[in-house]
Amino acid sequence: MADYGILSLVPPVIAIILAIYTRQVFVSLLFGIWLGWLVLTGLPIDPVTEAPVFHNMGFFEAVWRVLNPVNLWEGSINTIQALVDVFKDAGNTRTIMFSALVGALILFIQRSGGVEGFIKRVNIFLEKYEKKKSGNNRVVVQFLAWLTGLLIFVESSISVLTVGALYRPVFDKLKISREKLAYLADSSSAPSSIILPFNGWGAFIMGLLATDFVNPFGMMMGAMKYNFYPFLALILALILVFSRKDYGPMAKAEKRAREEGKLLADGAQPMISEELTEVKTKEGVIPRSRNMVFPIALMVLMMPVMLIYTGWGAAMEKMADASVWSKIFFAIGNGSGSTSVLTAVLVSLIFSMIFYGAQRIMKIKEMVDLTLKGIGGLMPLAILMMFAFAISSLCKNDLGTGQYVASVAKEWLSPALVPFLIFLVSCFIAFSTGTSWGTFAIMMAIAVPMAKEMDTNVYMAIAAVMGGGVFGDHCSPISDTTILSSMASASDHIDHVRTQLPYALTAGSVAAIFYLLVGYFG
């Protein structure tokens, strides 16, 4: 690979700066890709020295080679081609298709009354429990809110909205602050989506890892034991619920709600959207929880089944004399993650169509229309994935950004510090941009090659990117899940951010210390 030196940092660094300044991740990623291709087109490899031609020219000549009108045109054409080439990789295509089709499945379970039916089921249980007049009502209800957010891991937004819509009336009755509801919704959605990655999050991360590893699913799952922040965030929320010991601004909010009956602070402006917090069921349809549980359970079940199916050939070849269980575990670790997630969501969609059709909830035309509408709703995510795969390939395969960073860092940085620094940088980017997805797209292309070059634990580097992205996203007032949590719980947005921040910082600080300790002591 050619050594572009410090120029290899231009695309990702400019993308980060632009994303922080403009808050427009799509534009920033595209601009970074374009700059990278201007460099590659204007400063090609010298066939004799096998080095970029800028090594043999002055600064102003190099700048002119990159920015002259002819190169601007050719670089733009090459940028378009690079985006098209994303789909040459079957794994990338399958991942993008899965992410778009998940939108259709989400619309199906909402329209069929599955989400509303699930909410009614939980409400029946809550009403029965409330009649006991137990002193533990507040604890049990908060735990159920946390558990609901954890179980609906198929999509973080629907998890947040369901928790808010379901538990807001109950929290209000028990005089639990809106800030606490927003915190529990926020702190159970994204962590569960990243820990149980049978969803768009998992497909996206596997797509980013596929350029470096034959078995991206195995790498992602292997990294989970080092993904400290999501586990710590979930555990901290549980500790706060069962200990009844809040601290910081949340303690004041809970005291206000409990003693004065004020669910919101004086002067608070509830951030609410009835469109978002009310789950829409088709008119005339009886809400049933099975319309949500069965399709999601089938999708989750199909993923390991397909991993076994796609990895069984390798298991038979490499472990012919091993036991069946050994072959199954080997197959899961070596199956195709992108094939598995795409097949799983397609099977779930087809099942949903048959299942809802048998109940006469929807006709074929409406199902097709809902599928197209759902795909359209998640098209921004599909475009983000395309940009992410393009800049990842550019940095890894063409510019060698990770290798350059590693070669410079070797001079002064201990390999043990790499996961810790990756975690902090990922957190900063996610906090500044409000998106963990954009953070994954930028940082994975740098972190993995850097970890390889510096002989650092690659699993830990992958986990640091994932955990740092979720941590920064939790702290950020411009994050979509943070905003949705405020809307779903009808909380003042700034109050939600202010009360949640000490808890996120607690879990994030402990996670950072863990990266330091594990980095140094293994």
Distance, in Å, from the CA atom of 311 to the CA atom of 161, rounded to the nearest integer, reads 37
In a domain, 217, yes or no: no
Question: Minimal CA–CA distance to 340: which of 3, 7, 91?
Answer: 91
Last residue of one domain, picked from the residues 338, 354, 380 = 380
User: What average pLDDT does the chain have?
Assistant: 80
Q: What's residue 277's pLDDT? A: 41
In a domain, 117, yes or no: yes
- Asked whether residue 104 falls in the same domain as residue 17, the answer is no
- Asked whether residue 200 falls in the same domain as residue 321, the answer is yes
Please name the amino acid found at residue 240: L
- Asked whether residue 194 falls in the same domain as residue 313, the answer is yes
In a domain, 2, yes or no: yes
Alpha helices in 319-457 (DSSP H): 324-334, 337-358, 364-377, 379-393, 401-409, 418-433, 436-453
In a domain, 154, yes or no: yes
Q: What is the mean pLDDT of residues 220-229?
A: 91
Check: pTM over 0.85? Answer yes or no.
no
Please name the amino acid found at residue 20: I
The string of pLDDT tens digits covering residues 498-514 is 899 999 999 999 999 99
- Asked whether residue 114 falls in the same domain as residue 194, the answer is yes
Q: How many domains are there within the chain?
A: 2
> Using an 8 Å Cβ cutoff, are 40 and 399 in contact?
yes
- Asked whether residue 310 falls in the same domain as residue 366, the answer is yes
- Asked whether residue 103 falls in the same domain as residue 189, the answer is yes
Secondary-structure breakdown of the chain: helix, strand, coil percentages, each rounded to the nearest 5: 80, 0, 20
Last residue of one domain, picked from the residues 42, 65, 88 = 88
In a domain, 357, yes or no: yes
In a domain, 476, yes or no: no
Question: Minimal CA–CA distance to 187: which of 227, 140, 146?
Answer: 146
Q: What is the mean pLDDT of residues 398-422?
A: 77
Q: Which structural domain, as residue segments, surrounds residue 16?
A: 1-88
Task: State yes or no: pLDDT of 131 exceeds 70.
Answer: no
Distance, in Å, from the CA atom of 481 to the CA atom of 434, rounded to the nearest integer, reads 9
- Asked whether residue 201 falls in the same domain as residue 188, the answer is yes
- Asked whether residue 74 falls in the same domain as residue 123, the answer is no
- Asked whether residue 72 falls in the same domain as residue 115, the answer is no
Look-up: residue for tokens 């978002």?
276
Task: State yes or no: pLDDT of 261 exceeds 60.
Answer: yes
Distance, in Å, from the CA atom of 473 to the CA atom of 475, rounded to the nearest integer, reads 6
Distance, in Å, from the CA atom of 191 to the CA atom of 188, rounded to the nearest integer, reads 6
Query: pLDDT category, 226, cuts 50, 70, 90?
Result: very high
Task: Count Cα atoms within 13 angstroms, Cβ side, for 357.
Answer: 12
Task: State yes or no: pLDDT of 200 exceeds 50.
Answer: yes
| Six-digit token string for 318 | 């490499």
Q: What's residue 1's pLDDT? A: 54
- Asked whether residue 110 falls in the same domain as residue 190, the answer is yes
- The better pLDDT of the pair 369, 332 is held by 369
Q: What is the mean pLDDT of residues 431-452?
A: 81
For 181, phi and psi rounded to 5 degrees? -65, -45
Q: Is 261 exposed, middle or buried (0-12, 13-18, 19+ CB in 10 A)?
A: exposed
The string of pLDDT tens digits covering residues 152-164 is 776 676 677 778 7
- Per mean pLDDT, which of 273-277, 332-336, 349-353 is the most reliable? 349-353
In a domain, 507, yes or no: no
- Asked whether residue 70 falls in the same domain as residue 99, the answer is no
Q: How far apart are the first and last CA of the chain?
A: 31
The string of pLDDT tens digits covering residues 358-381 is 888 888 888 888 888 888 877 776
Q: What's residue 227's pLDDT? A: 93
In a domain, 196, yes or no: yes
Last residue of one domain, picked from the residues 356, 380, 404 = 380
- Asked whether residue 2 falls in the same domain as residue 151, the answer is no
SS3 134: coil
